Amino acid sequence: MRNEKEKIISKIALQKKNPNLKLRLKKRTEYFTDLLFYTLFDSETEVANNIEILEQTFNELVALSCWKHKSPCDKMWESYLESLPIILEKLNLDAQAFIESDPAANSIEEIYLAYPGFYAIAIYRLSHELHKFGFPLVPRLMTEYSHRLTGTDINPGAQIGNSFFIDHATGIVIGETVIIKNNVKIYQGVTLGGLYVNRKLRNVKRHPTVEDNVTIYANATILGGETTIGKNSVVGGNVWITASIPPNTVITHTAQSKIKTLI
């Protein structure tokens, strides 16, 4: 029995071909993400003290994730710290968009505490800045943590403008090369994705562009890097779009329903 166990252990060790896969990077990233959110929003959290802890945690993430990265990850903290007030300003605009757009919202505090869409946007914005710096792995782990909590999948590479509103959040997918301009509203189940999956499309614009003041209703699917939704347009629920839409357009899906009496 001992020999058999040793053989099994040997086989497992042989298959572990990636010596730099440190799973605690995931847990430390989640801790870092939570700490960032509390530092920016919790009125009972002391900012100065948390900034010191955030820096220490950031240095841990550098050691765990930058083992083969060419750029000096340890130099990123100061730049990232300088960006936090700007990110917070954008998030406060997002929260204001929520309170102005959702009649079910009873207070601004409710937006920050209870809305998964706002949380998903917050973690996206915090991760996007690190993505811009070229920090490996961590931005994606941050948004995947948010994805698990909210049901909203926003790639940290997406470019999203000011006053962004996500209602209900669940099932939303926003791809890596999506561009969303200002004052856009998106409802549950919306996909902003690629026409197809191919490794050759890496670093290519393969996801849609959404211009200013667009509203996209539930379960709409918009695909393709050349697809643009023109400003001031409304995309109705369950619509499938793979070509550009001009400004000031309303797109609707008409489903035929038949009513039959049983008696």
SS3 127: helix
Minimal CA–CA distance to 94: which of 128, 121, 55, 124? 121
- Lookup: tokens for 60: 């841990």
How many residues are present in the chain? Answer: 263
CA 101/CA 121 separation, integer angstroms:
15
Task: Report if pTM > 0.85.
Answer: yes
- Lookup: tokens for 198: 């191919």
Q: pLDDT per position in the chain (263 positions), as tens? A: 678 888 888 888 888 776 677 899 999 999 999 999 999 999 999 999 999 999 999 999 999 998 766 667 778 999 999 999 999 999 999 999 999 999 999 999 999 999 999 999 999 999 999 999 999 999 999 999 999 999 999 999 999 999 999 999 999 999 999 999 999 999 999 999 999 878 877 888 999 999 999 999 999 999 999 999 999 999 999 999 999 999 999 999 887 667 777 76
HSE (CB half, 13 Å, CA atoms) of 33?
Answer: 28
CA 190/CA 218 separation, integer angstroms:
6
